[in-house]
């Protein structure tokens, strides 16, 4: 290995050791911020020109140089150097090589501390917009599937035991609602991301006559950060994004778990399209639901990154500390993971095959209209608690007889309560049970149909 002879600056008497250089450099991963870094630098330079802090000639040279660098980076011709530590120094160094002394003026009134905070916010703003859009696409696919299955009956579960019959669309709408809240959380977080830190310089601001509001306008930030110390040290916009991503992934993991169960031969409610499954290297008959399993598994890394970021910030004294460099890899991975997950999930949902008959057959199995029988007795004058006790006895009787509630004869029913008449059979059917739950948020077919329409309308706005 070539021996390093370069000192960090003239303040130092020894060169940086090789291992320290490698340990402290971030260029291998923060080069991903390059386009945002250039965007921020272009706005900063324009402000310096407007405020007459640099000349028009220098500004023109800087702009030209930065645009060339952007092209080099996009064409993958830019030579990144670990000797130049991070994306910021790499670009500034190259700029000076291209345009000479003007390049050395770009950093006037700025520090890497406010620069990197700006880059991260520009990056995350783009990411959060993508996330919001991808959630919308998944919501649309969910509503499309639900629209086709308003009349499909499935066993609603509690404790993974058959509880009460529901419309399959109603079940899908539950996920639509979770995604609606996820989306709102990202939209809200965006407000706190889209504020400009630049101008804070190292931490205390700068003595140059800068115009921060002008830079904010150029970079389409809603406002400027009010406190320079906070501006360079705050990373809670990243933690918030990650926390929102964790909640989103948690929702998707629940859905994944259901897809895995539903596609197993014990349920056979659905089939996941072949393009989303893989086989086994030993068992030729296998078709494994790898995609939902991986979604479930990837929650681990997203949650892990959240813990990394929280731990990274815990107890950090103000203002900027190098610890913050560790914010990048987790957040990049979170953004990539949820972007891929949302894309793949939406496609998987659009290609699901549903077996309504199997769902309905399962709903018929588990005495799922027992609550309806209790409600029937209450409507005939019994208290609910008493009715609950009577129906528990009827269910026990049916279990012993190995028959469903709707197969119990009227005279047997009447042994349990004289209030029971032949109209009881109306409430024991799955359809009757579903139709009766017609309040807002209930599973009645018409209610679900209206909910689907309303949600679709909302998505159009
Ligand atoms: N690479 C650094 C980071 O990601 C940039 C800021 C460096 N600032 C400093 N004072 N060393 O945080």
Q: What structural domains does the chain harbor?
A: 9-108 (1.10.275.10), 113-208+219-361 (1.20.200.10), 365-460 (1.10.40.30)
Residue 280 designated active-site: yes
Ligand 1 atom at minimum distance from 327 CA = 4
* Ligand 1 centroid – CA 322 distance (Å): 6
Q: Which residues pair with 157 in a beta bridge?
A: 162
pLDDT, residue 278, reads 78
CA nearest neighbour of 102 among 92, 111, 88: 92
pLDDT, residue 409, reads 95
Q: Which residues pair with 270 in a beta bridge?
A: 354
* Ligand 1 centroid – CA 144 distance (Å): 47
Q: Which residues contact 40 (CB under 8 A, 6 or more apart)?
A: 115, 118, 119, 122, 198, 219
DSSP-derived 3-state class of residue 199? coil
pLDDT, residue 3, reads 58
The residue whose C-alpha atom lies closest to atom 12 belonging to ligand 1 is: 325
Low-confidence ranges of the chain (pLDDT < 50): 1
Q: Structure tokens of 405?
A: 């509630």
pLDDT, residue 9, reads 83
pLDDT, residue 414, reads 96
pLDDT, residue 370, reads 92
pLDDT, residue 25, reads 96
**Residue 110 falls in which region: left (phi positive, over 0), alpha (psi -120 to 50) or beta:** beta
* Ligand 1 centroid – CA 323 distance (Å): 9
pLDDT, residue 4, reads 62
pTM attached to this predicted model? 0.93
């Amino acid at each position: 290995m070539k021996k390093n002879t370069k000192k960090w600056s003239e303040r130092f008497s020894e060169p940086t050791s090789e291992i320290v250089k490698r340990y402290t450099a971030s260029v291998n991963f923060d080069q991903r911020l390059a386009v945002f870094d250039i965007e921020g630098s272009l706005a900063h330079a324009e402000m310096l020109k407007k405020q007459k802090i640099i000349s028009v000639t220098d500004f023109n040279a800087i702009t030209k140089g930065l645009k060339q660098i952007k092209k080099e980076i996009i064409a993958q011709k830019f030579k990144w150097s670990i000797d130049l530590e991070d994306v910021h120094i790499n670009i500034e160094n190259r700029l000076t090589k291209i345009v000479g002394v003007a390049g050395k003026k770009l950093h006037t009134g700025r520090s890497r501390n406010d620069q990197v905070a700006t880059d991260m916010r520009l990056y995350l703003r783009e990411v959060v917009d993508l996330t919001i859009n991808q959630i919308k696409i998944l919501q649309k696919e969910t509503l499309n599937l639900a629209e086709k299955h308003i009349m499909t009956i499935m066993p609603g579960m509690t404790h993974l035991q058959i509880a009460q019959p529901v419309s399959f669309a109603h079940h899908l709408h539950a996920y639509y609602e979770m995604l609606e809240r996820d989306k709102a959380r990202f939209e809200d977080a965006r407000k706190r991301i889209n504020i400009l830190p630049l101008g804070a310089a190292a931490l205390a601001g700068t003595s140059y006559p800068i115009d921060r509001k002008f830079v904010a306008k150029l970079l389409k930030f809603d406002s400027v950060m009010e406190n320079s110390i906070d501006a360079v040290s705050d990373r809670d916009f990243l933690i918030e994004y990650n926390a929102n991503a964790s909640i989103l992934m948690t929702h998707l993991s629940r859905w994944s778990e259901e897809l895995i169960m539903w596609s197993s031969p014990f349920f056979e409610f659905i089939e996941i399209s072949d393009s989303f499954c893989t086989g086994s290297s030993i068992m030729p008959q296998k078709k494994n639901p790898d995609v939902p399993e991986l979604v479930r598994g990837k929650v681990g890394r997203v949650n892990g990154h959240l813990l990394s970021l929280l731990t990274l910030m815990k107890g950090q004294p103000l203002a900027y500390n190098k610890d913050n460099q560790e914010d990048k890899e987790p957040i990049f991975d979170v953004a990539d993971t949820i972007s891929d997950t949302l894309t793949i999930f939406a496609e998987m949902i659009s290609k699901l095959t549903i077996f309504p008959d199997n769902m309905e057959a399962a709903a018929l199995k588990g005495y799922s209209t027992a609550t309806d029988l209790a409600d029937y007795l209450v409507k005939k004058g019994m208290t609910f608690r008493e009715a609950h006790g009577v129906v528990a006895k009827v269910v026990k009787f049916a279990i012993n007889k190995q028959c469903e509630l709707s197969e119990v004869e009227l005279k047997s029913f009447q042994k349990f309560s004289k209030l029971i008449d032949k109209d009881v059979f109306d409430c024991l059917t799955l359809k009757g049970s579903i139709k009766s739950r017609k309040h807002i948020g209930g599973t009645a077919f018409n209610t679900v149909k209206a909910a689907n329409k309303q949600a679709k309308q909302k998505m159009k706005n």
